[in-house]
Structure 1
Amino acid sequence: MLRVVVLGASAGGGVPQWNCGCAVCQEARSERPELRRTQASIAFSADGDHWFLINASPDLRQQLIATPQLHPKVGMLRHTPIAGVILTNGEVDAVAGLLSMRESSPFTIYAHPKVLAILRTNSIFNVLNEKYVRREPITVDKAFEPDLPDGSRSGIDILPFAVPGKGAWYLEGHVHPGGDDGAGDTLGLRIKDKASGKYFYFLAACANVTDDLKSQLAGASLIFFDGTVWRDDEMIAAGLGNKTGQAMGHIAMSGDTGAIAALAGLDIGQKMFLHVNNSNPALLRNSPEREIAERAGWQIPPDGTEIAL
């Protein structure tokens, strides 16, 4: 059985964001604590004992404390159920939490060579001693089975694939340490339990839903999909930023070419938005935007949500 836990469902900064006074963040600080969310990451397992993370958010330590499935085994001085971390991009949102995993427990980082190059050229990630923490390159459109810490097979098949997106913000205007050619900056993942055949998709960032992507996602039991903004100019209109969703590499939820419309009619079982920005009014349960999303079959899960396939 494939089990998935939503560790965090928010975009960068979380909800509430530390320096934000928007309506959502104000409500999350005061009378609506259920709005609070940490930054996007999930954990999944095929056996309930060994878990893999997709991305390591800056909130990872808090997420691990809040998730009993990821606690050390009782009676052991040093232990973690985490066998590996799969990175879908090199943004701060996806990699900063790795620094909280520096205490010499064995696990493997799986990432595209372009993302591994970012880690390699930033010396702060050397705190992850490669004697214990292996770094394994993954290839677009080539499935792999991650190992368990003892070297045995996990029984999980992971297929990375390229999706429309952008490289890390902090590299804009700089030479990419992994080179500027080819895909790899933004990946989607299909996670499949080899024993049961059950699978789900994870896309924390996506700038556009292509016909190929529609075909790939059609009929899936579960998808986690980029829900950063409700409308493309949302942050500009709210006075919270000067970039559109597209400029940041994210598709809007709404609109004729937004995620809700683009992914309608594909016979997808459960549709969950994650990486939802604090500016997004769909976070508010009684908002018209939330009603539209839920009427179309979408959920915005709270942290800690567990799904079994």
Structure 2
Amino acid sequence: MLGSAAGGGAPQWNCACAVCLDGRADRTQDTVAVSGDGTVWYLINAGPDIRSQILRTPDLAPGPGLRQTPVRGVLLTTAELDHTLGLLSLREAVRLEVYATAAVTEALAPVRSMLGHYTDLRWRAMPVRLDGGLDLDRLTVGRKRPRYAADLDGADWVSALRLTDRRTGSSFVYATCLPAWTAEFDAFVAGADQVLLDGTFATEDELTRATGRPGSASSMGHLPMASSRVHAARHPGTRFRYGHVNNTNPSTADVVADGSELLTS
């Protein structure tokens, strides 16, 4: 877990809610690093804090070559700014592979144009067999567009990812932007060793209670933790934890922190 917070981090720079003022919140924005062999690594999303997150993670240290890095590519689950702004901070890469849906790829056309002037940028579709022994599968779980892409078409805006180790069969599901627990999603997580769920909000009305701002969890495209726990209980053989935690969310049970390791074998 490179970062475990929703957009804005925690504490959020302009927020005086109880959680931010408490002083114990210390989360950077949502990004996860995954590897099948401990040598080749992929980032799930690239948040604005990506530079500092990589530098503080020994497994992602550069070398032995002068510009050699274990970071092989980025797997995007949405086109939201808190999941994509870090791509610009990776412009020094000799080559950068980015995996995304058609809708996300189209929305990020300006970013692709800019990055293409700095690095050998290769845009890929999903699913795919990844280097390092991982198979990547994808499920569309939401159609919520980023505000800046409100006029674009497409349906595959929000994805859950399942990564399976080809050697052991162990698997990890990433779904930190989950608007609803559908039958398709239930089948997608079935048999997984680890699942990282949407921990943006603890309850449906959290944001309004904490800040006075209008808006429910579901209206913002997030299934609250109180609702997903009921569904997760039907999968006793799977370890469920929560990431993408909003700065207003005081939950601690099953909530990951920056630097947490989610091992599947």
Do both share a fold (TM > 0.5)?
yes
**Within 2, Cα distance between the matches of 1:116 and 1:124?**
8
Q: TM-score, normalised by structure 1?
A: 0.81
Relative to structure 1, the CA distance from residue 165 to residue 99 in structure 2 (aligned partners, 3 Å threshold; closer, same or farther) is: same
1:186 and 2:137 aligned: no
Out of 16, 31, 37, the residue aligned to residue 47 of structure 1 is 37
Matches within 5 A, 1:39-78: 39-74=29-64, 76-78=65-67
1:132 and 2:132 aligned: no
**Within 2, Cα distance between the matches of 1:154 and 1:162?**
25
Q: How many residues align?
A: 264
Helix, strand or coil for the counterpart of 2:225?
A: coil
Shift of 1:94: 0.9
1:264 and 2:233 aligned: yes
**AA aligned opposite 1:114:** A
**Within 1, Cα distance between the matches of 2:134 and 2:189?**
19
Shift of 1:164: 3.3
CA RMSD of aligned residues (A): 1.8
2:31 and 2:47 in contact (8 A); partners too: yes
1:58 and 1:94 in contact (8 A); partners too: yes
The match for 1:149 is: none
* Percent identity (aligned): 35
**Within 2, Cα distance between the matches of 1:275 and 1:192?**
22
Relative to structure 1, the CA distance from residue 250 to residue 204 in structure 2 (aligned partners, 3 Å threshold; closer, same or farther) is: same
The match for 2:262 is: 307
Out of 82, 98, 112, the residue aligned to residue 87 of structure 2 is 98
The match for 1:111 is: 100
**Within 1, Cα distance between the matches of 2:48 and 2:113?**
14
1:163 and 2:149 aligned: no
**Within 1, Cα distance between the matches of 2:205 and 2:80?**
21
Unaligned runs of 5+ in 2: none
Shift of 1:272: 1.1
Shift of 1:262: 2.0
Unaligned runs of 5+ in 1: 1-5, 147-152, 283-289
Helix, strand or coil for the counterpart of 1:238?
A: helix
**Within 1, Cα distance between the matches of 2:95 and 2:186?**
37
**AA aligned opposite 2:60:** L
1:209 and 1:262 in contact (8 A); partners too: yes
**Within 1, Cα distance between the matches of 2:41 and 2:116?**
19
Shift of 1:15: 0.7
**AA aligned opposite 1:280:** N
**Within 2, Cα distance between the matches of 1:124 and 1:54?**
17
**AA aligned opposite 1:39:** Q
